Amino acid sequence: MSASINWDTLGFDAYRTRTVILSHYKDGQWSPIEKTETFSFTFDPFAQVFHYAISCFEGLKAFRQKDGRISLFRPDQNAARMARTADYLGMPCPSKEMFVKMCELCVENNLEFLAPYGHKASLYIRPLLVGMHPQMQLVPYPEAIFAVMCAPAGSYYGAHLRSCAAVIPGDFDRAAPKGSGSYKIGANYAATFRPYKYAHEQGYAELLYLNSSTREFVDEFGSSNFFGIKGNKYVTPLSDSVLPSITNLTLQQVARDFGMEVEKRPVPLEELAEFEEAGGCGTAVVITPMSHIDIKPVLAEPLVSRSFRYEPDGQVGPACTKLYNRIVGIQFGELEDTHGWCHYWLD
Ligand SMILES: Cc1ncc(COP(=O)(O)O)c(C=O)c1O
C-alpha cells in the first residue's frame, strides 16, 4: 500500500504518518514498547523538557532499494550518538538493540509512507528522547520518554543536487567553546532559529558558524558538517564544538575509497579561499554543495565584507557529484555496499 503522496515534490517537513513507537523510562526500567496512532502525548507541565530543555534527538533514513528490499542506513551509529548525548544530559537511554528495534518498528508500521524505488525519496526516522520528570531543581532525573516517529522525505533543498549560498554571521555563534555543540540536544538548535530567519530572508540556505572563542576557524553549518575539496584532498574541521556527523564519517570513507586523502583538522577561515569545492553534509541533505559563502559582520544588515566563490548558482562540482552519487547509490541499493552500511531486517 502507498499513501497518496507526490514522491517527486517532497521536501523535508513534519508530516503526520500513521504510527509512533514509544517507551517510557521510570523506576529504573523501560516500559514494554508501545505503538500509538493518536499522535498525542501527555506531559506534566513541570516536566524537565519544558523548563530546562532536557531533550535530544537523532535523524536517520530508511530506503526502498532497487531490488525491493528495505534498509536503514547505519542505525547503530545513531544509537551510539544518542547514548553519548543522553549521558551528557544525565538522561536514561535505550540500548543499541532497543534503539534499532524501535526504528525498525517505526518503518514497518509506516511502510505506506516509504516511497517506491525510483523517486529519490526516503523515510526520515526521528528518534526523540525527552525528560519527563516534574521538577524545579537543576539536577538530572532518570525519567524519560523515547519515541520514534517518521516523515516521508525528498531531498532537503529540492529533488536534485544543486548548489546553494551560505553566510557566516559575524554576530551569532552556535556553540560555546566547552559547551554542548558536539551533542545532538534540542537546545543547540533553538539558538539557530533567529539567525536562520535572517539568513533565509536574504536568500541564504545555510549558516556557517566559526569557532566562537577566536572566530578564526570553521566549525560547521547550522544543520550539517562542513567539508572542502582541495585537489585530491577531502578536508573537514576537527573541533570539539561540532556534531560528529554520520554522513561526514561515511563521506570520509567514500573519499578514501576514491583514493582521496582525508584531512580532519582545524580549518582556518582563510582556507575557504583555497578550496575548489565546499559543501555541507548531513542525513537530510547527504551533500549540499555551496555556490558561495559570504561573510556578514552583522547578519541582518546588507554589508557583505567578503565572499568565497565555488560554483555558479545551482551548479555542482565534480568531487561533490561523485561523492554524492556513491553514497546515494549505496543507500538505494544500486551500488555495492562494501562497508556493510545498509541494515536489513525484513525477509
Ligand atoms: C548541527 C548538525 N551538524 C551535522 C549534522 C549532520 O549529522 P548526520 O550526518 O549524522 O545527519 C546535523 C544533522 O543532520 C546537524 O544538525
Over 60: is that where the pLDDT of 18 sits?
yes
135 and 176 in a single domain? The answer is no
Over 90: is that where the pLDDT of 188 sits?
yes
Grid cell, residue 50, equals 519544558
Report yes or no on 339 lying in a domain.
Answer: no
Report yes or no on 346 lying in a domain.
Answer: no
104/155: higher pLDDT: 104
Q: Is the pTM higher than 0.85?
A: yes
75 and 222 in a single domain? The answer is no
Contacts of 164 (CB under 8 A, 6+ apart): 157, 204, 205, 206, 288, 289, 290, 291
Which of 118, 153, 188 is a domain's end point? 153
Is-contact 46 55, C-beta < 8 A? no
245 and 110 in a single domain? The answer is no
pLDDT in tens, 281-323: 999 989 999 999 999 999 999 999 999 999 987 889 999 999 9
322 and 202 in a single domain? The answer is yes
Alpha carbon 61 to its chain centroid, in Å, reads 10
Report yes or no on 345 lying in a domain.
Answer: no
CATH number of the domain to which 172 belongs: 3.20.10.10
230 and 304 in a single domain? The answer is yes
88 and 204 in a single domain? The answer is no
pLDDT at res. 154:
86
Report yes or no on 172 lying in a domain.
Answer: yes
Report yes or no on 51 lying in a domain.
Answer: yes
- Single out the catalytic residue among 184, 197, 230, 322: 184
DSSP secondary structure string for all residues of 119-133: SS-EEEEEEEEEE--
Give the distance (Å) from ligand 1 centre to CA of residue 284.
8
Grid cell, residue 119, equals 523517486
| CB 75 near ligand 1, within 6 Å | no
Q: In ligand 1, which atom is closest to the CA atom of 248?
A: 9
**Which pLDDT band, with edges at 50, 70 and 90, does 235 fall under?**
very high
Report yes or no on 105 lying in a domain.
Answer: yes
253 and 314 in a single domain? The answer is yes
- Tally of structural domains, the chain: 2
Closest by alpha carbon to 330, among 129, 72, 97?
Answer: 72
136 and 191 in a single domain? The answer is no
Contacts of 236 (CB under 8 A, 6+ apart): 225, 226, 227, 228, 248, 252, 262, 263, 264, 267
Closest by alpha carbon to 290, among 178, 167, 186?
Answer: 167
105 and 223 in a single domain? The answer is no
98 and 216 in a single domain? The answer is no
Q: In the annotation, is 184 catalytic?
A: yes
Express as a percent the part of the chain with pLDDT over 70. Answer: 97
| CB 243 near ligand 1, within 6 Å | yes
Report yes or no on 245 lying in a domain.
Answer: yes
**Which pLDDT band, with edges at 50, 70 and 90, does 155 fall under?**
low
pLDDT in tens, 129-152: 999 999 999 999 999 999 999 999
Domain of residue 37: give its range.
Answer: 7-153
Report yes or no on 336 lying in a domain.
Answer: no
pLDDT in tens, 21-39: 999 999 999 999 999 999 8
| CB 250 near ligand 1, within 6 Å | no
307 and 168 in a single domain? The answer is yes
As a whole number, the mean pLDDT across the chain is: 95
Best residue for ligand 1 mutational test, from 126, 156, 247 (most atoms within 8 Å of Cβ): 247
149 and 184 in a single domain? The answer is no
CATH number of the domain to which 82 belongs: 3.30.470.10
